[in-house]
Amino acid sequence: EMDKFSNKVANCFHSIGYKAGDEVALFMESKPRQIGTWLGLAKIGVIPAFINTNLKYKSLEHSVTVINARAFIFDSEYFSVVKEAIPLINQKMKLEYFSFGSVDEKLLAECPVEVKPLKNIMDQASTANVNYKGNFSDHLFYIYTSGTTGLPKAAIIRNSRYFVVSKGTNMVLKLKNDDVLYTPLPLYHSAAAMLGVSQSLVFGASVALRPKFSASKFWEDCIRYKCTAAQYIGELCRYLLSQKETPIERQHKVRIMLGNGLKPSLWPTFQRRFAIKQIVEFYGATESNATLVNLLGKEGACGFFPRAVPRWILKLVYPIDLLKANEITGEVIRNEKGFCDSVPQSGGSGLFVGKINDNPMQRFDGYVNQTESAKKVIKDVFKKGDSFFSSGDVLSVDEYGYIYFKDRIGDTFRWKGENIATTEVESIISEASNLSDTIVFGVEVPGCEGKAGMAAIYHPTAKIDCKQILAAMKANLPPQAIPLFIRILTNLEITGTLKLPKNVVQSEGFDVTKIKDDIYFLNPKTNNYEKLDQKTYQLILEEKIKF
């Protein structure tokens, strides 16, 4: 059925002139139709870009226009969001628009461009295989990532990379044809699109999708679809633990869970309560050429350097490393010879890197924008002429060789399972408040995974309209990108480069017991910014206010 559907997509777009190398923006729900659509496009060499369905207006326009898109395919439920962004998109490029599902005729008439009903066109298309042969090195699709710095970028995923990742995942999960993998994660992210869906497309296992994660339905789904494996992110685990205990949560057949971000403090409780035999925590980035996996069940670890094996031998087999670096700026520290040094095997923390080679496992394809790709490469690391991919993340290794995620360097942070680009949020706030001096950063919140957004706005009189700023952010940003806290800076020394000192402000966080400036928090009950007082601050510390 999936093969026939994807063939219809392939024949449909082939018949209207689409060819290998064309790029198409995909704005679709996490349902089988999304998979069938990109698979069909791939069958004729057309490259789909998976756009986050939470995006709107400027954020959506940016993701569409950073690729050389020829068309925009979207599900009809997103019509109003797409329609709103079309004038912005039209300023940079002209696209063909295709919609899955019906759209009200009146709304279509008000749309500034023609929207073609894709189902009607596909009904006339053949289900026969398309006569097209691609290459192992061809671009398969693009997945957006902030890459730890700047605005979201389209990371290149080749056929070869997809296969290598799918094979590695299969070796970890040991899935067979009669296994079922539960994936409640969005298909616009690599975890579901590559690690998850590939187990069906490449290895023949079944994959059960849920369009949007539901803590109350998680175990019901696992039982209904007879799932034997499942994917997770740290936030998902916390939400499941917050649910009231029921007998059904132990009546499933899930034996293994794969994901990242599970806090060591939650790990044993989660595994014991839900009777999961094995939890596999991994570390990796969509565009990265290096991945770590914790197969030993060490709580909180995302990988392992065997202490019994000399580091130089490990590098020959799998050339990854932790480099000594400034953990605030991310700059590597070079020795007197001008090269980098590894973190001692006895333990320490450093910048995680992977050596760049031409083989599918270690090549770095980067982003559609090659200028951005170059920023992720460190040259002359251990010898003249070598190149390494810089993850932008600080990891630590203990005396036993276990590796842990420590912190993210740069101008992005992770919140609610999404990478947030601070520059994008800063731009919206500055425009809404007519101020240029705005900085956004991540702060840790007790009981939450990742870091919540916090904005610091400099204004000497403290006259800031938080309602106006919030309205602008809601109109332009996905919910998880809206800062949880706003600090109004009234008296602060700027740096020598006329910038606000982000590191200083970030280290102070939202501690109202030490900060004299006004701080506002986004109350989850009212969905409005309210002044943060010491009583509310204490409730946040005690995890009595849930975000």
| Structure confidence at residue 435 (pLDDT) | 66
| Structure confidence at residue 412 (pLDDT) | 81
The secondary structure of residue 332, as a DSSP letter, is B
| Structure confidence at residue 173 (pLDDT) | 94
| Structure confidence at residue 496 (pLDDT) | 42
Q: How far apart are CA 322 and CA 395, in angstroms?
A: 7
| Structure confidence at residue 495 (pLDDT) | 44
- Residues 6+ positions from 197 with CB-CB distance below 8 Å: 35, 183, 187, 207
Beta pairing partners, 228: none
| Structure confidence at residue 384 (pLDDT) | 96
- Residues 6+ positions from 497 with CB-CB distance below 8 Å: none
Kindly state the helix (H) or strand (E) to which residue 533 belongs, with its residue range.
none
CB-based burial label for 406 (10 Å; 0-12, 13-18, 19+): middle
Domains of the chain: 1-134 (3.40.50.980), 156-405 (3.40.50.12780), 411-542 (3.30.300.30)
Burial 330-358 (b: 16+ CB within 10 A, else e): bebeeeeeeebbbbebeeebbbbbbbbee
In the chain, the amino acid numbered 408 is: R
Kindly state the helix (H) or strand (E) to which residue 256 belongs, with its residue range.
strand 256-260
| Structure confidence at residue 455 (pLDDT) | 93
Q: How far apart are CA 232 and CA 252, in angstroms?
A: 16
Q: What is the pLDDT along the chain (547 residues), one digit of tens a residue?
A: 999 999 999 999 999 999 999 999 999 999 999 999 999 999 999 999 999 999 999 999 999 999 999 999 999 999 999 999 999 999 999 999 999 988 888 888 888 899 999 988 999 899 999 999 989 999 999 999 875 556 789 999 999 999 999 999 999 999 999 999 999 999 999 999 999 999 999 999 999 999 999 999 999 999 999 999 999 998 899 899 989 999 999 999 999 999 999 988 899 999 999 999 999 999 998 898 889 999 999 999 999 988 777 777 888 888 999 999 998 788 999 999 999 999 998 889 999 999 998 877 778 888 999 888 999 999 999 999 999 999 999 999 999 999 999 888 877 888 988 888 888 898 899 888 876 578 899 999 998 888 999 999 887 766 788 999 999 999 999 999 999 999 998 876 554 433 556 777 888 899 999 898 999 999 999 999 999 999 999 999 999 998 8
The secondary structure of residue 150, as a DSSP letter, is S
| Structure confidence at residue 501 (pLDDT) | 65
Q: How far apart are CA 429 and CA 44, in angstroms?
A: 42
Handedness of CA 534, 535, 538, 540 (dihedral sign): negative
